[in-house]
Structure 1
Amino acid sequence: MDFLELVQKRRSIRKYKSDSVPEEKLNYVLEAARLSPSWSNRQCWNYIIVTDEALRKKIVMRRETPANVAGTTRAIEERKSRRSREWIAQAPIIIVGCADPTKSGDKEEKQYYLLDMGISMEHLILAAAEQGLGTCWIGGGFNEQIVKEALDIPKDIRVVALTPLGYPDEATEPKSRKTLEEITSRDRWE
């Protein structure tokens, strides 16, 4: 499979089989992440592989809503949000992408640790697709403090993204994409 075929094959998977992921496939996707480029080759990332079911469930939940506001719109939204994230914990693995902002650049108001993690995580996700594994980039919708507490992540380290990892238990259709003409221009903004 060539590179564009791989990119076209990759999908955001939200339903996973319970089958475990062989260690050699896990190491393959982590190696792809490790080899990604970074600002001044500082390699600010660290990945936590979460296989424990109780921990997987914990890190995708937000704090419980206080009982005295149980009927409020906020409480209702929290319950919906909790339910909508439960699928993440069904995968046999959740990979937590962390970064140390002090080990990356902060230049011209750009926080390069976010870019570094984005590149590294995308390498991981594409390698997973190549191995027949499903992922789904989760860049928000989780409570960073809960994740840090559950996984003993130091205060100065940022949790940038999560991805479930496992064998897909669903067939997904390709999403529509804009044409090249819609997203490119020559010599100036059009």
Structure 2
Amino acid sequence: MGVFDTIKDRRSIRTYKDERIPKDKLEKLLEAARLAPSAGNRQNWKFIVVENEQIKNKLVTASNNQAFVGTASHVIAGIGDSAQKWHQVDLSIALEHIVLEALELGLGTCWIGAFNEEEVKKILKIPQDKKVVALLTVGVSAESPAAKSRKALKEIVAYNEYT
């Protein structure tokens, strides 16, 4: 699959099969994140891979009771250093690398932005000076959602000045 097709075919998956992601695939996802660009090549991030069922269930509660968070094979927490100006951008790029590689490997993902950061920090023992940028569920998809409509390019693109 080409990059554009991977981007086009990506969906947010909220229904997962009760299957574990093999370790080699999980490591390939994390390698994709490791290779992501970052400001000044600082790579100032940490990825917490949650596979423990009890911890995932606690993350369900911390994620506004989104039950599907607990059904994914893994939840990956993207942790940044808030002292670094571009930590949110850098981490978002790295997490999106995981999303795209997951699709290449036949896996599904969903970005989780609705969560109680302090609760997630407590559950995952994250230091207070760090920032939980996003959570990402990863697993074997049990659904094939249709593509959602997108705005036309002319609605979102301007050339040379804001119009």
Counterpart residue type for residue 112 of structure 2: I
Q: 1:181 aligns with which of 138, 154, 161?
A: 154
Matched, 1:91 2:72: yes
Superposition map of 1:28-177 within 5 A: 28-62=28-62, 81-82=64-65, 85-102=66-83, 104=84, 106=85, 112-139=86-113, 141-177=114-150
SS at match of 1:137: strand
Report the alpha carbon displacement of residue 60 of structure 1 after superposing the two structures with TM: 2.6
| SS at structure 2 position matched to 1:135 | strand
1:32 aligned counterpart, secondary structure? helix
What letter corresponds to residue 160 of structure 1 in structure 2? V
Question: Whole-Å Cα distance in 1 between the matches of residues 72 and 117 of structure 2?
Answer: 20
Is 1:59–1:143's contact at 8 Å kept on the other side of the alignment? Answer: no
TM-score by length of 1: 0.82
Measure how far apart 1:2 and its partner are.
1.1
Rounded to whole Å, the distance in 2 between the matches of 1:129 and 1:62 is: 26
Per the TM alignment, residue 184 of structure 1 is displaced from its structure 2 partner at its CA by 1.0
> Partner letter of residue 145 of structure 1?
E
1:6–1:129 CA contact under 8 A, matched in 2? yes
Q: TM-score, normalised by structure 2?
A: 0.95
**CA–CA separation in structure 2 for the residues paired with 1:148 and 1:178:** 36
Deviation sequence 1:72-97 (CA, Å, 0-9, x none): xxxxxxxxx42xx0111111111111
Is the 8 Å Cα contact of residues 62 and 120 (structure 2) preserved in structure 1?
no
Show structure 1 runs of 4+ deviating over 2 A: none
Give the number of aligned pairs: 163
Question: C-alpha offsets along residues 37-80 of structure 1, whole Å, 9 cap, x if unaligned?
Answer: 111111111001100111001023149xxxxxxxxxxxxxxxxx
- Structure 2: which 5+ residue stretches go unaligned? none
